[in-house]
Amino acid sequence: MTHGLKVERLVLLAHVGAMVFGVAGLVVVLPHPEWVLALPAVGQRLFAWSMAGGGLVYILLGAAAMVLYGLRVLGARLLWGFFVPAVGLSLASELLGTSTGFPFGHYGYLDGLGYKIAGLVPFTIPLSWFYMGLVCFLLAYGGLARLGQGGWRLAGAVALGALLLVAWDLALDPAMSQTPVPFWEFREAGAFFGMPYRNLAGWVGTGAVFMTVAALRWRAVKLELARRDLTLPLVVYLVNFLFGAVITLGLLDGRYWIPIGLGVLLGVVPAVVCWWVAGPRLASPLVLPQMDLISR
């Protein structure tokens, strides 16, 4: 195992650990304030810090894990070709949404996710769009290998990737907006378990737009992703889905099994199927076109 791969896995483990710590604090400890009061002063400060900054940490670690993975598996050209539109376009969409209500509905961010760009959107939010968007796109692209290398595969990866992204939101949004420690709030009545339906449409649209822009830059390369290449993206997808699902089901009432169940059906199951369908090929995942190599 190379040094770079070891670092990548350590960052992934730290990402998972930060989410486990956050879930434990929100679902197990927070409902029992007497436990917190029984802690020594150092423990109380640590708990207060984790509640205030835990969300920021797990997002930064998730983004770092996918950057390291992308550099190893995709190369700098494809990685940054996805990173730039994902961060730039999602930030634009979030700034528009928090200012006008389009395309997500009227909402606003609270504290706990870091410095707010223009006083509206935490800088970590476009990073979360990036790393989960890349995870969803790669799983979809790997699962559609039978479509070959043409435009139909890229179009299918965009459509399926956007669906995986919004399925994750079905677990995340209630956890982050309706529990006792929210990170954002909707400022209009949401007909779908507290969420406006246009919030879901905004997620699909935003994801599809930046994935399309990124996919257009990927046409010049032949990318083959085996099952082993998709293991880390699958792990990231599953633990992030579980993060939202456990908080939602642990702190909200039983009817929230419905959006969680939809998320499993539309996200978790297709993600696992995509990983499995990719197959155990052993070839190098990235092959540059011959003409491109000659031109260099």
Q: Count CA atoms closer than 13 A to 270's CA, side-chain side.
A: 25
Is it the case that residue 81 has pLDDT exceeding 80? Answer: yes
Q: What is the mean pLDDT of residues 19-26?
A: 87
Is it the case that residue 52 has pLDDT exceeding 90? Answer: no
Q: What is the pLDDT of residue 68?
A: 97
Domain spans in the chain, listed from the N-terminal domain onward = 76-295
Q: For the ranges 48-57, 102-111, 164-173, 246-255, which has the lowest average pLDDT?
A: 48-57
Read off the pLDDT of residues 166-216 as tens digits, 9 standing for 90 and up. 999 999 999 999 998 889 999 888 889 989 999 999 999 999 999 999 988
Is it the case that residue 289 has pLDDT exceeding 70? Answer: no
Q: ∠ CA 281-69-261 to the nearest 5 degrees?
A: 80
The residue with greater pLDDT, 234 or 33, is 234
For residue 147, CA distances in Å to 25, 150, 155, 160, 217 come to 44, 7, 10, 13, 18
Q: What is the mean pLDDT of residues 275-279?
A: 91
The residue with greater pLDDT, 288 or 46, is 46
Using a pLDDT cut of 70, give the percent of the chain over it. 89
Read off the pLDDT of residues 222-253 as tens digits, 9 standing for 90 and up. 788 999 999 999 999 999 999 999 999 999 98
Is it the case that residue 292 has pLDDT exceeding 80? Answer: no
Asked whether 120 and 221 are in contact (CB, 8 A), the reply is no
Is it the case that residue 291 has pLDDT exceeding 60? Answer: no
Q: Count CA atoms closer than 13 A to 164's CA, side-chain side.
A: 34
Is it the case that residue 30 has pLDDT exceeding 80? Answer: no
Q: ∠ CA 187-188-190 to the nearest 5 degrees?
A: 125
Both structure tokens of 152: 């139909």
Per-residue confidence at 50, pLDDT binned at 50, 70, 90? low
Q: What is the pLDDT of residue 43?
A: 67
Q: What is the pLDDT of residue 283?
A: 46
Q: Is 121 exposed, middle or buried (0-12, 13-18, 19+ CB in 10 A)?
A: buried
Q: For the ranges 43-47, 102-106, 195-199, which has the lowest average pLDDT?
A: 43-47
Q: What is the mean pLDDT of residues 126-139?
A: 98
State the pairing for strand pair 116-117/286-287. Answer: unpaired
Asked whether 138 and 144 are in contact (CB, 8 A), the reply is no
Quick one: angle between helices 269-277 and 231-251, nearest 10? Answer: 170
Per-residue confidence at 288, pLDDT binned at 50, 70, 90? very low
Please state, rounded to an integer, the average pLDDT across all residues of the chain. 89
Phi-psi region of 194 (alpha: psi -120 to 50; beta: other; left: phi over 0): left
Q: What is the mean pLDDT of residues 138-164?
A: 91
